[in-house]
Amino acid sequence: NKPLYILAIETSCDETSVAIVENGTIIKANIVSSQIETHERFGGVVPELASRKHVESITWIIEEALEKSGVAPSELSAIAVTQGPGLIGALLVGVVAAKALAYALELPLIAVHHIAGHIYANQLVHELQYPLVSLVVSGGHTELVYIESEGNFKIIGQTRDDAAGEAYDKVARALKLPYPGGPYIDRLAQEAGEALALPRAWLESDSYDFSFSGLKSAVLSALNQANMKGQPLDPGSVAKGFQASVVEVLVEKALRAVKAYGAKQLLLAGGVAANQGLRQQLAVRCAEANVPLLTPPLGLCTDNAAMIGAAAYLKFQRGQFSSLDFKAEPLLSL
Ligand code: KG4
Ligand code: ZN
């Protein structure tokens, strides 16, 4: 049995990444080139700069991934790429590169949804059992997804305003922490003593939706008021209070969804899945409720192409290929 190698490309936001994945589970190479240095002085991703950086990097990253994997282009079975959602100019660079490779090497093309990629990052290390519920938390998304069977997604709840990661980054900015601020808040929260008391947005009692903009405003106004009194707040207590509020709502709603949908597993996905507070709290609550919890390894939480390769392998097995004229879709739905 010959191994099946997929070359996968991810350029939906500010990471240029190329991976070679064997049989959907073995990562032969996963090169991630972050553009943080380009964007950090602007406090967020500048779309036009992101596109240009992807153009500069994509060719050598493809070459480096192939070289590192030891897999020859002639051994590849398919080319996969993130179709959306994401920044259109950024997505286009990956999509055009993937089409060129597929055309030149006469290989099938597989278009992958970015969130399916985050979800199936878990497939690289875990055995999935359906039906399951996935809590997807990233810089652009906060969703509870019911997955009845492989590739069969239903969004049962989502954020009505900011994504969880976006709220982390905005609060971090108010605390004058570097961009992206999620990991810095996480660390501060772990080390802090007392937590600032902040509200939780539960919304309607039966809703699986989220809202983080009120919490963000509460943090900003608490910071301002304290500054005006000349008694600035301790950043650690702000970080700890903010994280406690975000984590509590995410964990409660995820567990309620698992129960209501009779899910066999709870699967964590997305950049914020790297959050230690969230991982710890979910582990405790899932153990209590006897719910198997799957989390991706830390290095596969934030954007990377290996997760796109993992999701593409499932589509390959189902024969779901795309033609050379498929389009990048910035608002692609799951
Ligand atoms: O999935 P991702 O790489 O990009 C999107 O698809 O959006 O997620 C990036 C987001 C950023 O907002 C970043 O601050 C957040 O994930 N993040 C974290 C942590 N690590 C990354 N947020 C909280 N705690 C962390 N440890
Ligand atoms: Zn992402």
- Residue 152 domain flag: yes
**Within a domain: 68:** yes
- The DSSP code sequence of 197-230 is P------STT---B--HHHHHHHHHHHHHHHHTT
In a domain, 322, yes or no: no
Q: 7 near 81, Cβ under 8 Å?
A: no
Residue carrying the six token digits 């938390």: 137
Q: Are both 258 and 198 inside the same structural domain?
A: yes
The β-bridge partners of 143 are 136, 158
What gap in Å lies between CA 27 and CA 319, rounded to an integer? 22
Same domain? For 276 and 167 the reply is: yes
SS3 6: strand
* C-alpha of residue 222 to centroid of ligand 2, in Å: 30
What single-letter DSSP state applies at residue 19? E
pLDDT range class, residue 221, cuts 50, 70, 90: very high
Cβ pair 223, 269 in contact under 8 A: no
Is residue 291 located within the same domain as residue 150? yes
The confidence band for 16, taking pLDDT boundaries of 50, 70 and 90, is very high
Question: How big is the chain by its Cα radius of gyration, in Å?
Answer: 20
Q: Give a yes or no: residue 326 inside a domain.
A: no
For 259-311, the pLDDT digits (tens) are 999 999 999 999 999 999 999 999 999 999 999 999 999 999 999 999 999 99
Q: Do 175 and 200 belong together in one domain?
A: yes
307 and 272 housed in the same domain: no
Query: How many of the other CB atoms lie within 10 Å of CB of 93?
Result: 25
- Overall domain count for the chain: 2
Contact by Cβ (8 Å): 324, 109? yes
**pLDDT value of residue 301:** 97
Distance, CA 270 to ligand 2 centroid (Å)?
Answer: 6
Q: State which ligand 1 atom lies nearest to the alpha carbon of 302.
A: 3
3-state secondary structure of 54: helix
How far is CA 186 from each of CA 74, 159, 172, 245, 314, rounded to the nearest angstrom?
A: 44, 21, 10, 13, 33
pLDDT tier at 1 (50, 70, 90 boundaries)? confident
Where residue 268 sits, what CATH number does that domain have?
A: 3.30.420.40
Residue 285 and residue 169 share a domain: yes
Q: For residues 281 and 269, what is the distance between their CA atoms, to the nearest angstrom?
A: 15
- pLDDT-derived band at 51 (thresholds 50, 70, 90) equals very high
Residue 229: pLDDT over 90: yes
For 169-206, the pLDDT digits (tens) are: 999 999 999 999 999 999 999 999 999 999 999 999 99
Q: Are residues 174 and 277 in the same domain?
A: yes
User: In this structure, are 50 and 141 located in the same domain?
Assistant: no
The CA 70 to ligand 1 mean position distance, Å, reads 31
Give the separation between CA 140 and CA 33, rounded to whole angstroms: 19
Q: Are residues 21 and 103 in the same domain?
A: yes
CA distances from residue 74 to 51, 94, 309, 334 in whole angstroms, order as listed: 29, 20, 17, 32
Regarding whether 270 and 142 lie in a shared domain, the answer is: yes
- The set of residues, in sequence order, having a beta carbon less than 8 Å from that of 215 and lying 6+ positions away, is 167, 198, 199, 200, 201, 242, 245, 246
Residue 102 located in a structural domain? yes
**Domain range enclosing 107:** 5-119+301-317
**Quick one: 136 and 285 in the same domain?**
yes
Q: Whose CA is nearest to atom 1 of ligand 1?
A: 271
Q: Please state, in angstroms and rounded to a whole number, the distance separating the CA atoms of residues 21 and 315.
A: 14
- Asked whether residue 333 is assigned to any structural domain, the reply reads no
pLDDT of residue 48: 94
Residue closest via CA to ligand 1's atom 3 equals 302
Quick: pLDDT tens for 297-309.
999 999 999 999 9
Ligand 1 mean position, distance from CA 169 (Å): 8
Q: How far apart are CA 125 and CA 69, in angstroms?
A: 19
Question: Do the beta carbons of residue 17 and residue 32 sit within 8 Å?
Answer: yes
151 labelled binding-site residue: no
pLDDT confidence bin for 43, thresholds 50/70/90: confident
- Parallel/antiparallel/unpaired status of strands 109-113 and 76-84: parallel
Q: Are 208 and 257 in contact (CB under 8 A)?
A: yes
Q: Is residue 332 part of a domain?
A: no
- What residue type is 5 in one-letter code? Y
Nearest-angstrom CA–CA distance, 254 and 235 = 28
Sign of the dihedral defined by the CA atoms of residues 212, 215, 216, 217, in that order? positive
| Length of the chain measured in residues | 334
pLDDT digits (tens, 9 = 90+) for 109-163: 999 999 999 999 999 999 999 999 999 999 999 999 999 999 999 999 999 999 9
* Pair of tokens at residue 223: 């910071």
Q: Are residues 218 and 312 in the same domain?
A: no
User: In angstroms, rounded to a whole number, what is the distance separating the alpha carbons of residues 229 and 327?
Assistant: 54
In a domain, 217, yes or no: yes
Q: Tell me which residues have their CB closer than 6 angstroms to ligand 1.
A: 13, 138-140, 165, 168-169, 180-183, 186, 270-272, 274-275, 302-303
pLDDT band at 44 (very low <50, low <70, confident <90, very high): confident
Which one, of 144, 187, 186, 194, lies nearest residue 168 by Cα? 186
